[in-house]
């Protein structure tokens, strides 16, 4: 078998066999296939797609490309949560401690930023000394001690996805439904949790732009999860506007902490409670409604916040940054975006705003780039808000002042102001499973 033949076959729109898919997934994992050939294949997949069978085979091959986590040493039921990626999406940082506090163990592997979206691992690494890389024994011991460990994708679990994920980020080959489904589900299957809740984002800031395609992605992933014997459900949630107000790594940790203090933005709090409740329901902790109340009670009594601080300390991080978020270094420069006319914000293109965050240094332009942890955006106004000419819509933050011009252009072209107040939209758009 040879990779050029596989690329040519996919470029011509033909289906790949199980053996061909295994060949390139294992070749991605062990480095025997060159990055430029994998990139060409990913582009051919984006143009010509993968059918259902190819998607299942790719998920399975990527899951088997490294170790499969054995969580049998974890005491109790295990849960996992995964988002398909959005802008300002810091839900894991809120949901994981709530669920752990309710007795469901979270042994979780998270990703880095991808395209215009942020990643939990990058966010957590803005906490000094925070570690995301563990040998299995230490990972399990942290889960058993405090109920959560959020690790990065180690070289050992799903190495094929690790390689393809970073190439997709750098080659604009992210937003293909089969690649997203197989990337997420290979990690979830290799990650080994009993119960999985998926947050499938939908709208301008998501890879899936409309409810039908988000639902189709959710159904594909739920089918893969059930086929592997997991308890799994997906919530389709709105990502037409950024979630919460803070975008950028340390800025998002600050907002997650505020949410755990019951002081967060309403949209973020609502989505976190829904996701936590769904995972608790899958873990047989009660009905969805009872689990919503249970989840909220862990915010109100401060126990979920304590749980996050405990996890940060056990993962080597300085938990004082959770107790006192003013310790996070501030960006050297800031730049206010002001409204050029009065009216209502009728739309915020979340992808454009995410890209403005990436241009400020909060994400990577190439896979080797370093992140500026203090860079990002704080929104002062969101979709539906009234705004007067000259009022601040958002403040941009960066350690490099020269980046503001491009980011401000990108931000401004993503915001629409109209004279009429737009109709409000629900946050939860559908549930699959
Ligand atoms: N999250 C992932 O892990 N993979 C994707 O492809 C998209 C979001």
Which atom belonging to ligand 1 lies closest to the Cα atom of 207? 7
Contacts within 8 Å (CB) and 24+ apart, 213-216: 213/177, 214/84, 214/429, 214/430, 215/430, 215/432, 216/177
Distance, C-alpha 209 to centroid of its chain:
16
pLDDT score for 155: 67
Write down the catalytic residue from 10, 64, 81, 82: 82
**How far is CA 340 from each of CA 269, 316, 344, 389, 391, rounded to the nearest angstrom?**
31, 46, 12, 5, 8
The residue nearest atom 2 of ligand 1, judged by CA position, is 184
- pLDDT digits over 287-308, tens only? 999 999 999 999 999 999 999 9
* 8 Å CB contact between 196 and 188: yes
Choose which residue among 89, 122, 157, 174 to substitute to test ligand 1 binding: the one with the highest number of ligand atoms within 8 A of its C-beta: 174
Distance CA 276, CA 169 (A): 28
367 is catalytic: no
Q: Is the pLDDT of residue 367 over 80?
A: no
For residue 410, give the H/E element and its range. Answer: helix 404-412
- Name residues whose C-beta falls within 8 Å of residue 200's C-beta, 6 or more positions apart in sequence: 83, 84, 206, 208, 214, 215, 217, 218, 221, 234, 235, 236, 237, 432
- pLDDT digits over 75-115, tens only? 999 999 999 989 999 999 999 999 999 999 999 988 787 77
Share of the chain above pLDDT 90, in %: 87
Q: Is the pLDDT of residue 6 over 70?
A: yes
Mean pLDDT lowest among 112-121, 253-262, 311-320: 112-121
Kindly tell me the sign of the dihedral angle through the C-alpha atoms of 116, 117, 119, 123.
positive
82 is catalytic: yes
- How many CA atoms does the CB half-sphere of 30 hold within 13 Å? 9
Neighbour tally for 267: CB within 10 Å? 18
Distance CA 304, CA 210 (A): 33
pLDDT score for 428: 97
Mean pLDDT, all residues of the chain: 95
User: DSSP class of residue 360?
Assistant: I
Distance CA 420, CA 207 (A): 28
Q: Is the pLDDT of residue 154 over 80?
A: no
Q: Which residue has the tokens 């919503």?
A: 292
Share of the chain above pLDDT 70, in %: 100
Which atom belonging to ligand 1 lies closest to the Cα atom of 180? 6
pLDDT score for 255: 98
Provide the 3-class DSSP secondary structure of residue 208: strand
Q: And the tokens for 432?
A: 């699959």
For residue 301, give the H/E element and its range. Answer: none
Provide the 3-class DSSP secondary structure of residue 385: coil
Kindly tell me the sign of the dihedral angle through the C-alpha atoms of 26, 28, 31, 37.
positive
Distance CA 141, CA 54 (A): 37
- pLDDT digits over 254-282, tens only? 999 999 999 999 999 999 999 999 999 99
pLDDT score for 111: 79
Please list the residues that pair with 415 across neighbouring strands.
Answer: 348
Mean pLDDT of 338-356: 96
Q: Which residue has the tokens 């780039």?
A: 369
User: DSSP class of residue 67?
Assistant: B
pLDDT score for 368: 79
Find the 415 Cα to ligand 1 centroid distance in Å.
Answer: 26
State pTM to two decimals: 0.91
């Amino acid at each position: 078998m040879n990779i050029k033949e596989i690329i040519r076959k996919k470029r011509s729109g033909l289906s790949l066999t199980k053996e061909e898919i295994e060949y390139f997934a294992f070749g991605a994992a062990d480095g025997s296939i060159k990055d430029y050939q994998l990139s060409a294949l990913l582009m051919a997949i984006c143009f010509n797609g993968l059918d259902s069978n190819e998607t299942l085979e790719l998920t399975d091959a990527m899951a088997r490309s490294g170790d499969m986590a054995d969580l049998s040493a974890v005491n109790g039921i295990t849960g996992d949560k995964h988002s398909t990626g959005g802008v300002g999406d810091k839900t894991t940082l809120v949901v994981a401690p709530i669920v752990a506090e309710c007795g469901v163990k979270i042994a979780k592997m998270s990703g880095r930023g991808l395209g215009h979206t942020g990643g939990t691992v990058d966010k957590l690494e803005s906490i000094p000394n925070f570690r995301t890389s563990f040998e299995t024994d230490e990972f399990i011991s942290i889960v058993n001690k405090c109920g959560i460990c959020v690790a990065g994708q180690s070289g050992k679990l799903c190495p094929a996805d690790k390689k393809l994920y970073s190439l997709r980020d750098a080659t604009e080959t992210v937003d293909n439904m089969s690649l997203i489904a197989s990337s997420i589900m290979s990690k979830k299957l290799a990650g080994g949790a009993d119960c999985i809740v998926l947050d499938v984002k939908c709208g301008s800031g998501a890879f899936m732009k409309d409810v039908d395609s988000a639902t189709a992605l959710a159904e594909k992933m739920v089918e893969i999860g059930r086929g592997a014997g997991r308890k799994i459900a997906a919530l389709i949630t709105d990502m037409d506007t950024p979630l919460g107000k803070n975008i950028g790594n340390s800025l998002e940790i600050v907002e997650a902490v505020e949410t755990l203090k019951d002081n967060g933005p309403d949209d973020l709090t609502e989505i976190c409670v829904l996701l936590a409740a769904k995972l608790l329901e899958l873990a047989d902790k009660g009905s969805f409604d009872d689990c919503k109340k249970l989840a909220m009670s862990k915010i109100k009594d401060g126990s979920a916040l304590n749980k996050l601080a405990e996890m940060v300390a056990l993962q080597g991080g300085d938990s004082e940054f959770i107790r006192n978020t003013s310790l996070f270094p501030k960006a050297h420069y800031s730049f206010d975006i002001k409204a050029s006319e009065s009216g209502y914000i009728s739309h915020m293109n979340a992808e454009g705003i995410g890209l403005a965050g990436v241009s400020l240094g909060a994400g990577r332009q190439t896979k080797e780039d370093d992140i500026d942890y203090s860079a990002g955006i704080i929104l002062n106004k969101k979709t539906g808000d009234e705004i007067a000419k000259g009022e601040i819509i958002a403040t941009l933050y960066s350690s490099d002042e020269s980046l503001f011009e491009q980011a401000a252009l990108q931000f401004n072209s993503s915001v629409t102001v109209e004279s009429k107040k737009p109709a409000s939209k629900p946050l939860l758009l559908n549930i699959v499973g």
